[in-house]
Amino acid sequence: MTRPTLYFDGSCGMCRREIDHLRPRLRHRIDLVDISQNGFQPPAGYQLADMMAQLHFHDGQRMQVGLCASLGYWRVAGGGFRWLARVLTLPGLFQCGDWAYNRWAAWRLRRLRCEPPR
């Protein structure tokens, strides 16, 4: 099993703030990779544009995307984040959360003009 890896967009202020807040809980447990850095190469089978569009978290066995990625690294972070992840996996709440995450991610790309590095 490989070490878990969180791929995040460090050029997005909101994304960066969340990762900076959680970094003390995460840094010894998972690799944090800022995909907005020049020279970033996506893992095999993934495109940078898709990774910029939604959060990606490789849990050591499989890649999780979007809300599932957030839930994955929140579980690793522990504390109240583990509780929040558990609640958001409940039927109905997961679907609502996933819908909201997808709308937010689309808005973020349009409004904040988040673009992959060149």
Please give the mean pLDDT across all residues of the chain: 91
Residue 111 has pLDDT above 90, yes or no: no
- Whether 116 has a pLDDT exceeding 80, the answer reads no
Q: How confident is the model at residue 25 (pLDDT cuts 50, 70, 90)?
A: very high
Q: What is the pTM of this model?
A: 0.88
- How confident is the model at residue 110, as a pLDDT? 78
Kindly state the tokens that stand for 51. 């990774």
φ, ψ of residue 5 to 5 degrees: the values are -135, 130
Instruction: Please state the rounded mean pLDDT for residues 3-29.
Output: 92
Average pLDDT over residues 62-70: 96
CB 57 within 8 A of CB 69: yes
